[in-house]
Structure 1
Amino acid sequence: MGVLDEPFVGSWAVAAGVVTRWELRHNFVRVFPDVYVRKGCSLDARGRACAAAHWAKGDGVLIGRSAAAMHGTRWLDADQAAEIARRGHCRPPCGIRVVRSVIEPSECCEVDGFAVTTPARTAFDLGRRLPRERAVPILDALCAATGLEPGEVAVLAAKHPGARFLNRLRTTLVVVDPGAESPPETHTRLLLIDDCLPRPATQLVIRNHYGEFVARVDLGWRKWQVAVEYDGAQHWTDPTQRTKDIDRIARIEALGWRVIRINATLLYHRPHVVLDRVRTALTTQGAQLNK
């Protein structure tokens, strides 16, 4: 990518001779005061975080969703305001949320030249501030992207005994699982857990009687040979993918597994159907479940 293909400070670019004032006005769009992007460029969560850091001109630390984005977290909403911590009072422009706070040096790191909170501190902040159903998908993805373990966040939390909403954080950390590969997979897992079903394993590998790989399923219980698969739109609209899915499910079921397939409509509008089908499958396979 070129030097001007990402957000940049306009005054610095002009002073360095990289762009003229005329070009800045005509070929670029102002995102924040003195921060520009090339016309036609759409910012994702990471790009918006970089733009906010440029606006602060080094005086601040990216936190929350912005820090998560810098660490490579997927599935973040690009339209959410960028988040940054600064020492003093200031009035941020629309699209930037400023928290007046000082982050300890041990809880900061550098990513691509920008100051951001460490993965553990990022999870610590998000897990306290967001409701569990919103925090868990982000923390799942953050842990997957960085290798962060929930236990590391708990250790950091112990160093901040007076912080607000620690109970919310603890409730969130208990159900975090980096194995989730999309927010709907996380929501499916939470649905099952909240119905007091045994906690399923994520990305469960199924092998045949010779130990050969057969498939990997989104969620499941090896003990009872029950799998739960979340199918996105491509699983139903792409004929090639549809054929692969039919063959794959047949191979899994031939080994004695029960497979419950769900989509967005079932998950978000008819969750009781999902739970009934999972409970029936588990019971049929020998699980003793609480009523």
Structure 2
Amino acid sequence: MPLPPSYSAASARAAGLTRGVLRGSRYLRLAHDLTVRLDDAIDECERLQLLASLLPPDAAFSHATAAALLGAPVDAPLRPHVVLTPRRVLPQHSGLVVHARRLGGPDVVVHRDLRLTSGAQTFLDLAAVLPPWELVAVGDALRRAGHMTAATIGERLSRAGRVRGVVRARACAPILSPLAMSRPESLMRYWLVTSDLPHPEPQVPVQDRWGRVVSHGDLGYPEWRVLLEYEGRQHADDEQFGRDIDRYSLMAAGGWLVLRFANRHVHGPTAVVERTRRALVSRGWRSPSS
């Protein structure tokens, strides 16, 4: 008897496949009673599509699983997270983390042929488990990708009641920006916004002497001509390094003071805040308390 791409243990036995064969490299057990043939490589999205065939119609992937699929800077968990409408007995499965949520129509979307919690709902769910700086990085990414707007997150939080994480979500939502291009930029902006320094602007335009915009700084203070740049690993590439030299030369020629930060600087506030403070003071900024 021919088998479909995915099948149960009973179907496999009926087709004459032994347990030893199913444990071979051509087969992958996705869940307690769901096995697939590895004739073609299975990526995470395909794996979740197969797992979805085991779930009730009201199920939607959620939390870090939804965030990763929506392009947020989180790792997809080994055990996918799923939300179900509350019921007397909530189904459990060893291969899944199951949550009870009573969601409205706007709280679920279809993305890559999968039912997921919306960007705003995912942001709210993760607010219960992420520190605020990482939550801002997730929210920035969801806004940048168009999965969430200021209006949609505001609407979702307005009806969130007293759910776990809502206080953190409401505190972080006003900080979010679709202009942040990466997680490190979001972390840098979070440390500055929550300090006593002025709030930086993201993607600050840099002009040449003819007034043409020739570059953008990751973060900056146009009033004091201070820019902050994050240097990721891609900046070590020869071509990118050459482009960076041109950018920084243009910035300096325009009177900008450029602060450059690497990965080791952005995981806490000290380096970002104190170096920015010194740069701003050198350009004439004074703290209101001084």
TM over 0.5: yes
With 175-184 and 33-42 compared, the bigger mean Cα shift is at: 33-42
The aligned residue for residue 232 of structure 1 is 232
Q: Secondary structure at the match of 2:115?
A: strand
Give the count of matched residue pairs.
276
Measured in 2, the distance between the counterparts of 1:199 and 1:102 equals 37
The aligned residue for residue 91 of structure 1 is 92
Larger helix share, 1 or 2: 1
Question: By how many angstroms is 1:168 displaced?
Answer: 1.4
- Aligned 8 A contact 1:231 1:263 in 2: yes
With 140-149 and 250-259 compared, the bigger mean Cα shift is at: 140-149
Q: Identical aligned pairs, as a percentage?
A: 25
Where do 5+ consecutive residues of structure 1 fail to align?
none
- Aligned 8 A contact 1:120 1:156 in 2: yes
Q: Secondary structure at the match of 2:223?
A: coil
Structure 1 residues 102-124: Cα deviation after superposition (integer angstroms, max 9, x where no partner): 32234223223322222222223
- CA, structure 1 residues 98+240, in 2 after alignment: closer, same or farther (shift >3 Å)? same
The aligned residue for residue 262 of structure 2 is 263
Measured in 1, the distance between the counterparts of 2:111 and 2:239 equals 40
Measured in 2, the distance between the counterparts of 1:29 and 1:56 equals 19
After the TM superposition, which residues 47-58 of structure 1 pair with which residues of structure 2 at under 5 Å, given as runs?
Answer: 49-56=48-55, 58=57
- Aligned 8 A contact 2:108 2:118 in 1: yes
Question: By how many angstroms is 1:141 displaced?
Answer: 0.7
* RMSD over aligned Cα atoms: 3.1
Measured in 1, the distance between the counterparts of 2:40 and 2:267 equals 34
1:272 partnered with 2:273: no
With 259-268 and 99-108 compared, the bigger mean Cα shift is at: 99-108
- Aligned 8 A contact 1:126 1:135 in 2: yes
Measured in 2, the distance between the counterparts of 1:31 and 1:211 equals 58
The aligned residue for residue 154 of structure 1 is 154
Question: By how many angstroms is 1:9 displaced?
Answer: 3.9
Specify the structure having the higher radius of gyration (Cα): 2
The aligned residue for residue 112 of structure 1 is 112
TM-score of the two chains, using structure 1 as the length reference: 0.81
With 215-224 and 252-261 compared, the bigger mean Cα shift is at: 215-224
Q: Which amino acid aligns with 1:91?
A: Q
Structure 1 residues 77-121: Cα deviation after superposition (integer angstroms, max 9, x where no partner): 134532111234122224x21102332234223223322222222
The aligned residue for residue 74 of structure 2 is 76
The aligned residue for residue 212 of structure 2 is 212
